[in-house]
């Protein structure tokens, strides 16, 4: 009798362990607590001017890159955003190949998944599907894509221009800067990817103006 009970207990433990392992294998990452997304778009000409050794598609002359997809970041309303929430396996090759149409390097794709995607609660494939959806939602005003010479813009004008073009609240856009250059345009989106006002956790450039170099 004792032997039968012990055997049944062993079988139960083995079955429970296998079931748990299967669930761990198939489930998505549990999301970290976050309230909305920030879509980050980098101004390629400024980035390339400060990274002369970068020979990716973003910086190749003749590509005429303007705002380039950087990433989609889970964001908290009033706290630091969650980052690097789970171990990040390599992103599937077919997903990487597809995202290379929108993002400049494989390294950036893997970095964005590891640092931000693992906090979304989505699989890598679903996360990058959301990244692409968010990126394609934002329309860039023609005054930026048609820029032919270096020009300074007021931060207010940049944000108002994007708000008007996208029929969105002005507070949904934030400009970040580095040494007087526009670094990123950051777009605040709900979890359903609707425009929403950014909260104070998304910082804005303290300068009144930012410099934009023309696409090459």
Write out the catalytic residue numbers.
70, 112, 116
b/e map 80-113, b = 16+ CB within 10 Å: ebbeebeebeebeeebbebbeeebbebebbbebb
Q: What span, in angstroms and rounded, lies between the C-alpha atoms of 107 and 123? A: 18
- Estimate to the nearest angstrom the gap between the alpha carbon of 169 and the chain centroid: 20
The answer to whether the CB of 177 falls within 8 A of the CB of 207 is: yes
Q: What span, in angstroms and rounded, lies between the C-alpha atoms of 105 and 203? A: 26
The answer to whether the CB of 186 falls within 8 A of the CB of 197 is: no
Reference 38, options 155, 165, 135; nearest CA is: 135
Q: What span, in angstroms and rounded, lies between the C-alpha atoms of 176 and 197? A: 16
Q: What span, in angstroms and rounded, lies between the C-alpha atoms of 65 and 79? A: 33
Residues with Cβ within 8 Å of residue 125, at least 6 apart in sequence: 92, 95
Q: Which two tokens stand for residue 109?
A: 């794709």
């Amino acid at each position: 009798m004792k032997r039968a009970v012990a055997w049944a207990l062993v079988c139960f433990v083995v079955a429970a362990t296998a079931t748990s392992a299967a669930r761990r294998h198939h489930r998505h990452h549990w999301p970290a607590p976050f309230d909305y997304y920030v879509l980050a778009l980098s101004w390629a000409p400024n980035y390339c001017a400060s990274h002369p050794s970068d020979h990716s598609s973003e910086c190749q002359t003749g590509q005429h890159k303007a705002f380039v997809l950087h990433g989609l970041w889970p964001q908290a309303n009033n706290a630091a955003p969650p980052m690097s929430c789970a171990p990040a396996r390599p992103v599937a090759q077919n997903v990487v190949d597809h995202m290379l149409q929108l993002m400049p390097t494989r390294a950036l794709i893997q970095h964005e998944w590891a640092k931000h995607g693992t906090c979304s609660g989505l699989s890598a494939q679903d996360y990058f599907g959301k990244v692409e959806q968010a990126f394609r939602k934002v329309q860039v005003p023609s005054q930026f894509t048609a820029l032919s010479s270096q020009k300074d813009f007021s931060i207010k004008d940049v944000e108002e221009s994007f708000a008007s073009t996208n029929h969105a609240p002005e507070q949904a856009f934030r400009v970040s800067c580095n040494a007087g250059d526009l670094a990123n345009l950051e777009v605040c989106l709900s979890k359903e990817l609707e425009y929403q006002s950014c909260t104070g956790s998304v910082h804005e450039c303290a300068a009144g103006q930012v410099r934009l170099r023309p696409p090459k």
